Amino acid sequence: MMEFGFRLSPSSTIDLDRADLSLYRKIERLEPDMKTCMACGSCSATCTAGQYSGMSMRKVILGLQRGTDVSGMLSCCMLCGKCTMVCPRGINTRHLILSICRTYEKK
């Protein structure tokens, strides 16, 4: 097939009416603070693991809200707690990570 210097990527559109948000709902009940996230990215900018592994707490929360699998990113977290210290909304992100991991284990 002839290459023209570009390629078409699959659509990244998410149909929220069809997305499975059951995991998000469970974690939302355990950690209501998660709803106050404004996706500022401070947690991701300071993440110890982020530079080497792509771990991003911001992406984890957005992924849960969209019903996508975020378990791969969570396995890179070292639970250092830096993200908790910088969150302007005061979300205990370290505790949130533990709750998400426990919910995945029970799934």
Applying CB under 6 A, which residues contact ligand SF4? 37-43, 46-49, 55, 57-58, 77-83, 87-89, 91, 93-94
> What is the distance in angstroms between the CA of the first residue and the CA of the last residue of the chain?
43
Which lies closer to ligand SF4 via its Cβ, residue 72 or residue 81? 81
Residue 64 near residue 27, CB atoms below 8 Å = yes
In degrees rounded to 5, what are phi and psi of residue 46? -100, 0
Q: Min. distance of Cβ 24 from ligand SF4 in angstroms?
A: 15
Which lies closer to ligand SF4 via its Cβ, residue 1 or residue 62? 62
Q: Min. distance of Cβ 13 from ligand SF4 in angstroms?
A: 23
State the DSSP string of 38-80: ----HHHHH-TTHHHH---HHHHHHHHHHT---HHHHTT----
Q: Min. distance of Cβ 15 from ligand SF4 in angstroms?
A: 24
Which lies closer to ligand SF4 via its Cβ, residue 65 or residue 93? 93
Q: Cα-atom radius of gyration of the chain, to the nearest Å? A: 16
Q: Min. distance of Cβ 104 from ligand SF4 in angstroms?
A: 15
